Amino acid sequence: MSAEGEKQPELRVGPDPNVVYPVKVQYCGNCSLPIEYCEYYPDYPKCKEWLEKNLPSEFEKVKLVDDTTTEAGSTEDEKKRQKRGGKGMLKTKKKEEVQKLITVSRAPRGKKKSVTVVQGLSTFDIDLKVAAKFFGSRFACGSSVTGEDEIVIQGDVKDDLFDVIPEKWPQIDEDLIDDLGDQKR
Ligand SMILES: [Zn+2]
């Protein structure tokens, strides 16, 4: 038995047993630098070509890093952002800036008739389809959802809405309904 032999693991200096030596450095066939330096080489695109052919697994790594930083990637993001904030934003502006408010107005329909336009119900989380149906049966006339947050009731019922809306949806105070008067459509 050797006491020294037992102590050896604690005293070990030198190569880390978890690392395989010699550390393998892969050199680029295009610029002859270790491949992690290729990106600093002026002819990096050619290095990538070489990598793709000769060290596909390393190329994948380079490619992944590259894809997240290229200009193409960021313009793609830009496009998405613009799409997301496109049409919808113009109509309702930013959601968090929208005040809870309902507006009612009268709009001409034909020569003598008027329709009533109700906007803003969805700022109170009211289902517009349900609301349109309710107005239709309440006023016994046509009523439909005509926009993102707009219902048109076929008839001049604007003044009645100040009673009907708070009665149907108690969370809406009459003061939260704004009369926009007559609108030209
Ligand atoms: Zn290279």
Per residue in 34-91, pLDDT (tens digit) is 888 888 889 988 998 998 999 888 888 777 665 554 444 444 555 555 555 444 445 5
Rounded distance, CA 22 to CA 2, Å?
Answer: 31
Alpha carbon of 63 to ligand 1 centroid (Å) = 14
16 C-alpha to center of ligand 1: Å?
30
CA atoms within 13 A on the CB side of 103: 12
Could you tell me the pTM of the whole model? 0.46
Query: If you measure from the C-alpha of residue 36 to the centroid of ligand 1, how many angstroms do you get, rounded to a whole number?
Result: 8
Is residue 153 within 8 Å of 136, Cβ to Cβ?
Answer: yes
Instruction: For residue 132, report the phi and psi dihedrals to the nearest 5 degrees.
Output: -60, -40
Span from the CA of 142 to the centroid of ligand 1 (angstroms): 72
